[in-house]
């Protein structure tokens, strides 16, 4: 097919009426990249879990662990051990053991141009960018999950828009399910070239390792013009 035919195919299949469709682009490559509606994160479920199935019950088989297990390829990971919390312990009370908490952080940067999106589309049409994540209701602490997503400029430093979530858990009754977090960026302004996705999950060590799991993280672009 000719370049014009590939461009028409992209416009028709993705419903991009009114979107800038410049002549100089390789429209066959854009079509084959299929940048809309798919998850742009790599390895979105390192623990091999799905939000459609209940999270596994914690157990301690095998040798003792001190960090999360999983295939974290595609992610940049880091850990932050938190100081012991003794705020609720009366003076003079002897404590045999206290839980040690830590944050386990995972982050990725999505290159929107490399995924098939073009500059004029991002600057003028500003398609919606949808974020979704699921974390385990692990009951380890009142704060077990944080999400921070930033839309970055071409220098990977300039923050054009951002969204942060830091929920507080209800520990008054036991519940062990997946909890969903979502956000849609729209009308974010010109210049967006990267999406920086970072989430943190809290782990606990007390006579064994207990983690907070996650599943089905996603960043996707919708062929919908921002309003």
pLDDT in tens, 58-116: 665 555 555 677 778 899 999 988 776 666 666 665 666 677 889 999 999 999 999 99
Number of domains in the chain: 2
Q: Which domain holds residue 3?
A: 1-33
CATH number at residue 143: 2.60.120.260
- Quick check: is 62 in a domain? yes
Same domain, 103 and 146: yes
Q: What is the pLDDT of residue 24?
A: 86
User: CA 92 to CA 107: how far, in whole Å?
Assistant: 42
Residues 69 and 22 grouped into a single domain = no
Cα-atom radius of gyration of the chain, to the nearest Å? 22
Residue 1: the pLDDT is: 86
Which residue is associated with the tokens 């054009």? Answer: 160
For residues 12 and 52, membership in a common domain is answered with no
* pTM score, whole prediction: 0.89
Q: What is the DSSP letter of 36?
A: B
Q: Phi and psi dihedrals of 135, rounded to 5?
A: -125, 155
Q: Cβ distance 189 to 97 under 8 Å?
A: no
Return the pLDDT at 94: 61
Would residue 226 count as lying in a domain?
Answer: no
Span 107-163, pLDDT tens digits: 999 999 999 999 999 999 999 999 999 999 999 999 999 999 999 999 999 999 999
């Amino acid at each position: 097919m000719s370049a014009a035919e590939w461009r028409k195919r992209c416009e028709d299949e993705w419903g991009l009426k009114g979107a800038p469709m410049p002549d100089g682009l390789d429209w066959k490559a854009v079509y084959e990249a299929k940048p809309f509606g798919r998850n742009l994160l790599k390895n979105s479920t390192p623990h091999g879990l799905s939000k459609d199935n209940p999270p596994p019950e914690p157990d301690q088989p095998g040798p003792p662990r001190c960090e999360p297990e999983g295939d974290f390829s595609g992610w940049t990971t880091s850990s932050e051990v938190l100081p012991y919390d003794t705020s609720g312990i009366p003076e003079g009370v002897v404590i045999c053991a206290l839980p040690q908490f830590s944050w386990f952080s995972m982050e990725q940067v999505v290159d929107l141009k490399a995924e098939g999106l073009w500059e004029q589309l991002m600057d003028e049409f500003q398609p919606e960018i949808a974020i979704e994540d699921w974390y385990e209701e692990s009951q380890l602490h009142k704060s077990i999950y944080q999400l921070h997503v930033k839309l970055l400029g071409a220098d990977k430093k300039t923050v054009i828009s951002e969204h942060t979530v830091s929920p507080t858990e209800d520990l008054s009754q036991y519940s062990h399910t997946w909890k969903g977090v979502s956000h849609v960026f729209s009308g974010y302004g010109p210049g967006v070239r990267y999406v920086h996705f970072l989430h943190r999950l809290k782990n606990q060590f007390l006579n064994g390792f207990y983690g907070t799991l996650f599943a089905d993280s996603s960043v996707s672009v919708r062929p919908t013009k921002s309003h």
